[in-house]
Amino acid sequence: MQQSTIIIFCFLISIVICYQIYFEKVVAKRIPIKRKQKILELLKSKYTGLKENNLGYLEHTINNEKILFEFISNRSVNNSFSNNLYIYLDITTIEEDIKKLCKIHFYCSTIDNRDWIKIRVNPFYESLNNLVKHSDETVHKLISDAEFYISQKRAERNKRINT
């Protein structure tokens, strides 16, 4: 009786381990790919003219400002997934001294030999629909904050030069 209980217990443990391996190898790899496809569809419906570039970023132009979207789906320790949407603003064409100040003030990245200001979309709940819904206000916040900061630093620089 005891030996059959041990065999059943070992069998159940092996099934759980096999399911865990299957989840790791098959299911967990599909989830981020499906989520990226879904957010691409949602963003394309919100921003007309959005296209994916060769690096996997989504490109868009708003008010002559070049914008990139990056979606990252991370898996935590407890096997849940988190969705992150990052928005980048191109600052390659501004003056070098102002660009250096922007790199200190904002989170910046270099992508494809271009300089970008980076901000994360922070909705209350990180569903794909919420990320897309709040992306518009984040884009406008990023553009307005960057334009304000750049114009402020240009005015300070011009004031120093003229004095």
Per-residue pLDDT, 68: 93
Per-residue pLDDT, 27: 66
Average pLDDT across the chain, whole number:
85
C-alpha distances in angstroms, 11 versus 23, 24, 154?
18, 20, 71
Q: Which residues of the chain have pLDDT under 50?
A: none
CA 102 – CA 91 distance, rounded (Å): 9
Q: Which domains does the chain have, with CATH numbers?
A: 32-162 (3.30.1460)
C-alpha distances in angstroms, 84 versus 33, 42, 68?
14, 14, 14
Per-residue pLDDT, 5: 82
